[in-house]
Amino acid sequence: MVADNLQPPGPPEPVRPDARYVLHFKDEGQDFLRWVLDAEGRVLRSELFQTWLWKGYIVANMRQLLVWKENDDRHPNVHAKPHAYVIRPGDATGNQYPIIHPVVRLEILS
């Protein structure tokens, strides 16, 4: 018997109107593979799991990730995969914390 909390997730939630980007991470067995971000790089949702943990974090190096995306679109698989750096919600110090899982794709939503 499988516990209820181990069931596969249902259909994805609809995209929020303020969602601008989807950051895709390399699958290394972690509980999140994608973050849905607003225009400022704030995490709105974490997929498949852990929205409760990541919601509200800000991707501090969003501008660098956008430049990487532009270069990677023109020359796929040439550039090293970057890492995201986040700032915790309410952290007045602005300390940035690296996410150890590399970014494999940055999707811009229409």
pTM comes to 0.81
Tell me, what's the pLDDT at 79?
66
Residue 76 and residue 12: Cα distance in Å, rounded?
A: 28
Q: What is the CB-side half-sphere exposure of residue 79 using CA atoms within 13 A?
A: 19
Q: Cα dist. 86→1, 13, 77, 78 in Å?
A: 38, 24, 24, 25
Grade residue 8 by pLDDT with cuts at 50, 70 and 90.
low
Residue 2 and residue 88: Cα distance in Å, rounded?
A: 34
Residue 22 and residue 19: Cα distance in Å, rounded?
A: 8
Yes or no: say if 87 and 96 are a contact pair by the CB < 8 Å rule: yes
Q: What is the pLDDT of residues 44-93, one digit of tens each?
A: 999 999 999 999 999 999 999 999 888 877 777 666 789 999 999 989 89
Dmax (CA) for the chain in angstroms is 49
Yes or no: say if 41 and 62 are a contact pair by the CB < 8 Å rule: yes
Domain ranges of the chain: 18-108
